[in-house]
Amino acid sequence: MTKQEKENIAIVGAGPVGALLAVMLARKGYKIDLFESRPDSRAKALYQGKSINLALSDRGWLALKAIGLDEEIRRQAIPMTCRMIHALDGGLTRQPYGKDNQAIWSVSRAGINEQLITLAEQQAGVEVHFEHKLTGLDFNSGTCSFALSHQDAAREAAGASVDYTRELVFGADGTFSKVRRLAQELAGQRISYSMDYMPQTYIELTIPANSDGSFMMEKNALHIWPRKNFMLIALPNPDGSFTCTLFMDLQGEISFESLDEEHKVAVFFRQYFPDAVPLLTDPVATFMAKAPSPLCLVHIDPWVVNNKVALIGDAAHAMVPFYGQGMNCGFEDCRILSELVDKHEHDWPEILPAYQSARKENCDAIIELAKRNFVEMSDLAGDARFLLRKKIEAKFSEMYPELWIPLYSMVTFSPELPYAHALAIGEVQKEIMDEVMNSPDIEQNWQAESTYQLLYQLAQEKLTPNILAKALSNKEINTISDTREVKA
């Protein structure tokens, strides 16, 4: 196949990742069929996807910038520069996410998805097929079989199905990916996989806007009510409302199952979220009416089968939302893949293994980081010693920015730094900070010069020669300044 004869590509799943991938590949000259099982939400003013709040950050922006959609999306996004911690007594603590007003951005998943699908449709060579539900996939031939669920009653009654044979197939069909589950069934392919349900589940609640459209709480913050084993969070919407998410165990002492009567739920909200109760729209009725949604971790290895079918986004690496990286990571998959298409000059037998090798380890790292972050958000965020630790780190990072980027910033604001490096550096940082926090009277001495001398010495000793140097030598950390402009 010469470079003129580009492969025809099927993308299964027109969520944000599938649609972004379609745009990127179409612009490189590929003919793309983008399949989605749901109807077109734009036509019906009906969004049926998952509605959990999304925090877009620099990895996501970097990918959107690559297709020129960043400015348009930024106009409807709300920057959140800090966590706002709501204590039991209603007291508020502000924890900046980074420095110099670095922010994560509250966005509507539905909105981004629709913008990306519209952009995909505008590309030459892209055809979007809604109401096409994947039922089968031949991993040798690339033949995808779809059941049709068109409103066209005659076709549906006939159990209409249709096959498309494409040279490459991407499974961008999310956490419960059919492409992945079909791959898992393949005999003789040695495909390892796991699906882990977390004990935590969630429901969404709402804090409406004031009657004048203004926000009832600080607009530019991600609000958290950390209550150790459960938490409430709230993200601002452009209309002045907040979308809130209550994360709590499905089963156990305080859980969705144990809070099974209205009066218990009312007591629960008054006891743990006293300042939120007056703001929330019908929290008790909503709690009673909604079935909590699950949270899952997905691992699979390999991501690529027969150099013909590849997974991308949640289909390959579903994670929990506690680091706000799910969509950012999926967008990064697309950006890296796109770069590899150029680097390997459209040679897919080179591109696909390189894609897997570039992404697998990093996605495993962010899955792990996201899982761990529940504790940071729900428990430590309200802990005085944890806040002190963060303050010391922030101060040290300002003194020696080339020596220390806090883990949260590495993940969120350093889009060229691979997640796996962030995880590895973060573990050494933790060791170092454990030692610093154990020094005598740190509560009193935290601003003393000696504290930062100790930190400097430990960082020089443990961090520079090993991990950070390795990361730097890969030149993956040194484009951070370039990407800072993204958040301007």
Tell me the closest approach of the beta carbon of residue 199 to a second copy, in angstroms: 10
**Which is closer to a second copy, CB of 194 or CB of 466?**
194
Q: How far apart are CA 287 and CA 268, in angstroms?
A: 11
For the chain, percent helix, then strand, then coil, each to nearest 5? 45, 20, 35
Which amino acid is located at 197 in the chain? Y
Tell me the closest approach of the beta carbon of residue 353 to a second copy, in angstroms: 14
Three-class SS state of 162: strand
**Which is closer to a second copy, CB of 354 or CB of 471?**
354
**Which is closer to a second copy, CB of 189 or CB of 474?**
189
Cα separations (Å) of 82 from 94, 103, 218, 417? 6, 7, 10, 22
Let me know how many helices (H) and strands (E) the chain has, helices first.
19, 19
415: its two tokens:
């889009």
**Which is closer to a second copy, CB of 291 or CB of 384?**
291
Tell me the closest approach of the beta carbon of residue 250 to a second copy, in angstroms: 8
Tell me the closest approach of the beta carbon of residue 299 to a second copy, in angstroms: 8
Tell me the closest approach of the beta carbon of residue 257 to a second copy, in angstroms: 12
Tell me the closest approach of the beta carbon of residue 295 to a second copy, in angstroms: 10
Contacts 24+ apart (CB under 8 A), 231-236: 231/377, 231/378, 232/205, 232/272, 232/273, 232/276, 233/53, 233/377, 234/207, 234/276, 235/53, 235/55, 235/78, 235/80, 235/106, 236/78, 236/80, 236/106
**Which is closer to a second copy, CB of 28 or CB of 193?**
193
DSSP-derived secondary structure for 163-202: EEE-SEEEE---TT-HHHHHHHT-TTS--EEEEEEEEEEE
**Which is closer to a second copy, CB of 155 or CB of 181?**
181
Tell me the closest approach of the beta carbon of residue 162 to a second copy, in angstroms: 23
**Which is closer to a second copy, CB of 193 or CB of 430?**
193
Q: Give the contacts of 213 (CB within 8 A, at least 6 positions apart).
A: 239, 240
**Which is closer to a second copy, CB of 144 or CB of 183?**
183
Three-class SS state of 319: coil
Tell me the closest approach of the beta carbon of residue 307 to a second copy, in angstroms: 17
Which DSSP helix (H) or strand (E) runs through 127? strand 126-129
Tell me the closest approach of the beta carbon of residue 449 to a second copy, in angstroms: 41
Q: How far apart are CA 404 and CA 396, in angstroms?
A: 7
**Which is closer to a second copy, CB of 186 or CB of 424?**
186
Q: Are 104 and 58 in contact (CB under 8 A)?
A: no
Tell me the closest approach of the beta carbon of residue 77 to a second copy, in angstroms: 33
Strands 242-249 and 104-107: unpaired
Q: How far apart are CA 355 and CA 370, in angstroms?
A: 22
Q: How far apart are CA 296 and CA 50, in angstroms?
A: 14
**Which is closer to a second copy, CB of 250 or CB of 387?**
250
Strands 31-35 and 8-12: parallel
Site residues (CB under 8 A) for a second copy? Answer: 176, 181, 184-185, 187, 190-197, 250, 294, 299
